[in-house]
Structure 1
């Protein structure tokens, strides 16, 4: 799956990441945060249990349920 990746700074130098299908806007429920573009058109396997680089768990399930995937609070990246 090709996705666009966004990130936002969190406490202690950590980051949260948001992945949306390539070319789609950030969903309305996630737009209230200052997301910065990190990567466009990144090919990632949505069947993987976790996208390590972004701290996103169960990306395929999140995409199916919400239309986007996001880092869980306890998996933020450096």
Structure 2
């Protein structure tokens, strides 16, 4: 699946990621936050690996339920690392 990846700084130097199917707009519920484009047109595969702090299967479930996937609080990354 092709996705666009957004990143935002959280507290304590941690970052969260938001994954949206490629060329879809940011969902209304996240437009009031500090999301910045991180990467466009990324291959996001259902391969059991972690992509941008998101477990691939969990991300696909989130996308099917709400149209996007977002990092869980416990899975945020430091220093903006993906």
Would you call these one fold, judging by a TM-score over 0.5? yes
Residue 41 of structure 1: how far off its partner (Å)? 0.2
For these two proteins, the number of residue pairs brought into alignment is 76
Which residue pairs with 2:30 in the alignment?
30
Tell me how large the CA RMSD over aligned residues is: 1.3
Distance 1:48 1:39 in 2: 19
4+ aligned runs moved over 2 Å, structure 1:
47-50
The runs of 5 or more residues in structure 2 that have no matched partner are: none
Distance 2:32 2:47 in 1: 28
Which residue pairs with 1:17 in the alignment?
17
Superimposed CA distance per residue, residues 18-69 of structure 1 (whole angstroms, 9 cap, x where no aligned partner): 0000011110111110111000000011x3445x242223011000000000
Which residue pairs with 1:42 in the alignment?
42
Which residue pairs with 2:64 in the alignment?
64
Q: Normalising to structure 1: TM-score of the pair? A: 0.88
Q: Normalising to structure 2: TM-score of the pair? A: 0.84
The runs of 5 or more residues in structure 1 that have no matched partner are: none
